[in-house]
Amino acid sequence: MISTCTMNPSLDYYMEVDGPLERGKPNRSNLEFYEAGGKGINVSIVLNNLGIPTRAFGFVGGFTKDFYISLLAKYQEIRPYFTYIDGHTRINVKCHADMHTNLNATGPYITDSDMKNLREKVERLGDTDYFVLAGITPEYLEDETADMLKKAIDAGVKVVIDTNPNLMRQVIPAHPFMLKTTDDDLAVLVGKELKTKKQIIAAAKQVYEDGVQHVLVLVDNKLAILVYEGGVYEGDVLHHDQFVNTVGTGDSLVAGFLMDYLRSRDVLDSFKYAVSSGAATAYSRGLATRAKIDSFYDQTEIRKLD
């Protein structure tokens, strides 16, 4: 089974405003709604849309906890498996006007007891499980989280990581199943400036050679690059500039890859489905649906770069 983990989920409050925001003046929205946010949650939502069940790990608590979980109830294939904490799940404000402006909270403090609870849940996973850690991990938890992931890999769990570069650097020698990152975070991960596609590919190859089975890089939200034992491949996530939304594009890549890999064990077809999933989100108001992904699949071209 696939489990996702969001270390610092958010209750996202969306406000849509006609016209530009005016600084120093009241601005009235014309539409408001809430969504359960977090990169791991995004992966679970796309997998839900594809009919794949997941367990959602992470930390939620405070007066926002019950409402956050209630927002997930509309997704039949997401099974909350959270660790409940005393702190409040953060609220992020996403203001959509002439320009998108996000106000993101720091989030609650995670205690030793909270982390112990999460570790015990992860320790129950085995060699038939996939575990996706996606999103920022608080720096004070990096070492303990890395140790948790390495032990899971030792137990046969297929671990997917998309988190802080420093945390990923610690996990790479344990040979995780997949590392998904962006060109900016890849530069931090390898400690080099990456200005060209050639440099990005060389850095992704370095990460693969250091121990990651599949390295998936989203470049400028437009291009996906895969490095694995079969070589180096690329696919276009954006087909033209009239995209709607790039939030969740990378999470959709991960979800699409895992969904197809579970049924086919074909890495290249899984990459094609991943790119189609990323495109489906980019050209939708929300996250990718199966119908939207399928509409992009036939027009998605995967190119070998070696």
What's the pLDDT tens digit per position in 153-175?
A: 999 999 999 999 999 999 999 99
The bridge status of strand 100-103 relative to strand 90-96 is: antiparallel
Average pLDDT over residues 280-297: 90
pLDDT at 306: 72
Highest mean pLDDT among 19-23, 24-28, 220-224, 229-233: 229-233
Compute the mean pLDDT over every residue in the chain, rounded to the nearest whole number: 94
Could you tell me the sign of the dihedral formed by the alpha carbons of 148, 151, 156, 162, in that order?
positive
Question: If pLDDT is split at 50, 70 and 90, which confidence band does 21 have?
Answer: confident
pLDDT at 55: 98
Average pLDDT over residues 82-92: 96
Question: If pLDDT is split at 50, 70 and 90, which confidence band does 284 have?
Answer: confident
pLDDT at 99: 80
Average pLDDT over residues 219-234: 95
pLDDT at 116: 98
What's the pLDDT tens digit per position in 55-81?
A: 999 999 999 999 999 999 999 999 999
- The closest of 272, 290, 279, 183 to 239, measured between CA atoms, is 279
Cα angle for residues 111, 115, 117 (degrees, 5° grid): 115
What's the pLDDT tens digit per position in 240-269?
A: 666 666 778 999 999 999 999 999 999 999
pLDDT at 19: 85
Tell me the C-alpha distance between 298 and 280, whole Å. Answer: 12
Tell me the C-alpha distance between 243 and 304, whole Å. Answer: 25
pLDDT at 100: 79
pLDDT at 64: 94
pLDDT at 243: 63
Tell me the C-alpha distance between 40 and 80, whole Å. Answer: 12
Q: Does position 225 have pLDDT exceeding 80, yes or no?
A: yes
pLDDT at 8: 96
Mark out the alpha helices in 183-246 (DSSP H runs).
183-190, 197-209
Q: Does position 232 have pLDDT exceeding 70, yes or no?
A: yes
Average pLDDT over residues 177-190: 97
- Tell me if 134 sits within 8 A of 6, measured CB to CB: yes
Domains defined for the chain, CATH in brackets: 1-129 (3.40.1190.20), 177-306 (3.40.1190.20)
Q: Tokens in use for 293?
A: 């992904």
- The closest of 223, 219, 242, 233 to 270, measured between CA atoms, is 233
Average pLDDT over residues 178-204: 96
Instruction: Characterize 27-38 residue by residue with b for buried, 16 or more Cβ atoms within 10 angstroms of its Cβ, and e for exposed.
Output: eeeeeeeebbbb
% of residues, the chain, pLDDT over 90: 86
